[in-house]
A and B are shown apart, each in its own frame.
Chain A
Amino acid sequence: DAGITQSPRYKITETGRQVTLMCHQTWSHSYMFWYRQDLGHGLRLIYYSAAADITDKGEVPDGYVVSRSKTENFPLTLESATRSQTSVYFCASSESGGRNTGELFFGEGSRLTVL
């Protein structure tokens, strides 16, 4: 089915381990985003990408790494997980060009717990 999928949906890891959250979209949207959702903070932007091989920092990028070698994939890596990175992570995508109103299409989220 077309859409945006995230994996894994649930992940438990330990402090110091590397974790990669995957995001795949089938719409060929140019823009992709990673947000984290924490109680009281809403959604905060971690990183975003305007196209393959173009990425930029958002509001809370520290401790995270992204790459975008293909338009459809936008993995998010926590190189050395910390407890403060326990959160729900959402991937989103949007179109570009003149019709772009900024509307985002979201995946179902990846719930990460760092022990």
Chain B
Amino acid sequence: AQSVTQLGSHVSVSEGALVLLRCNYSSSVPPYLFWYVQYPNQGLQLLLKYTSAATLVKGINGFEAEFKKSETSFHLTKPSAHMSDAAEYFCAVRGGNKLVFGAGTILRVKS
């Protein structure tokens, strides 16, 4: 069965600093992987997705993620954090026709 593990339920960075949110996956087949973002009192919206094409995936709002098969990882990064990036981020893996989500990482951005 497919699963993802997000390392760190809370991450705090200063404005302008690198953002790194970690996700490791487990999948018996080549995975489709996703990062979603959730702002307060809103639904989830797609940041980016990996579908077995390029291993470095660029998403919205300056985020990108790199698929590393050898490490079974799909970490999310952004070179310079902005206050508006404060939100909860979810990594997910496709399992059949469903998505299996991680527990989420809350990103706090300090001024």
Residues of chain A touching chain B, judged by Cβ–Cβ distance below 8 Å, are 31, 33, 35, 40-45, 48, 50, 58, 90, 92, 94, 96, 100-104, 106-109
Bound complex: CA A107 to CA B49 (Å): 19
16 contacts between A and B (CB under 8 A): A35-B101, A40-B103, A42-B101, A42-B104, A43-B44, A43-B90, A45-B98, A45-B100, A92-B44, A102-B94, A102-B98, A103-B34, A106-B43, A106-B45, A109-B41, A109-B42
Q: Restricting to B25-45, which residues have a CB under 8 Å from any CB of A?
A: 32, 34, 41-45
Cross-interface CB contact of A103 among B42, B49, B100, cutoff 8 Å = B49
Q: Assign chain B's interface to a size class.
A: 20 to 34
CB neighbours of B104 from chain A (8 A): 42
Chain B interface helix/strand/loop/mixed: strand
Q: Restricting to B4-38, which residues have a CB under 8 Å from any CB of A?
A: 6, 9, 32, 34
CB neighbours of A90 from chain B (8 A): 43-44
Bound complex: CA A48 to CA B102 (Å): 18
Interface string of B33-77 (1 = CB under 8 A from A): 010000001111110010100000000000000000000000000
In the complex, B97 has a CB within 8 A of chain A: yes
A43 & B97 in contact (Cβ 8 Å cutoff): no
Given the known interface contacts A40-B9, A40-B103, A108-B42, the answer about A100 and B34 at a Cβ–Cβ threshold of 8 Å is no
